[in-house]
Amino acid sequence: MPESDALSRLTPRERRCLELVALHFDTGQIAAELGISPATVNGYLADARQKLGARNRKEAARILRSSDADRKEATPTEHTGEIDRVEGEVTAGATVVSQLEPAASGGWVSRMLYLERVIAPHELGLGRRLLMIVGMVVALCVALAMSVVAAVGLVSIFTNLRP
């Protein structure tokens, strides 16, 4: 079966799951993004792999991505307003959207809290790295101070309990 026929047989949910696999989302992240269970995600990916004749989910995602790239080169499409992750080479004249701007599914803070892969650490500038380090040191100091206060409180409670 030609690849284009196999791609046309994919459902919108199977396509979306493969797109998220191409963005390096794991099963749990895909399930959270789409509001479905991880078992359902695995079912969609298994069906898509079977339809495309791929050995694994990453190969199926590569097949979908290459067909989408071919289609985009042939016909220009409108911008959907979503923020896409930028991978590979950036061509001249292309505008790169900051990956820290809020996306449709949540802002950069929620992505950081849920430990999604927003940007690679080596892509952070020196200023952001230093800010991140200072923030972690401050958070560690606050946690240490809170544990000392709790320990002192417990000691005072237990010393007052003695007859």
What confidence score (pLDDT) does residue 104 get? Answer: 44
| pTM, to two decimals | 0.44
Q: State the burial class of residue 50 (Cβ atoms within 10 Å of its Cβ: 0-12, 13-18, 19+).
A: exposed
| Whether the predicted pLDDT of 76 surpasses 70 | no
Domain assignment present for residue 134? The answer is: yes
9 with 46, same domain: the answer is yes
Domain assignment present for residue 65? The answer is: yes
112 with 126, same domain: the answer is no
Give the range of the structural domain holding residue 66, as residue numbers without chain letter: 1-76+100-118
Domain assignment present for residue 145? The answer is: yes
CATH of the domain at 68: 1.10.10.10
Residue 53 or residue 71, greater confidence: 53
51 with 129, same domain: the answer is no
For residues 100 and 108, is the Cβ–Cβ distance under 8 A?
yes
What confidence score (pLDDT) does residue 6 get? Answer: 77
| Whether the predicted pLDDT of 97 surpasses 60 | no
Closest to 116 (Cα-Cα) out of 30, 36, 41: 30
Choose the weakest-confidence range: 31-35, 129-133, 144-148: 129-133
Domain assignment present for residue 106? The answer is: yes
Domain assignment present for residue 161? The answer is: yes
For residues 82 and 33, is the Cβ–Cβ distance under 8 A?
no
Tens digits of residue pLDDT in 13-65: 999 999 999 999 999 999 999 999 999 999 999 999 999 988 999 999 998 88
110 with 156, same domain: the answer is no
Q: At what angle do helices 57-74 and 12-22 cross, to 10 degrees?
A: 100
Give me the chain's average pLDDT, please.
75
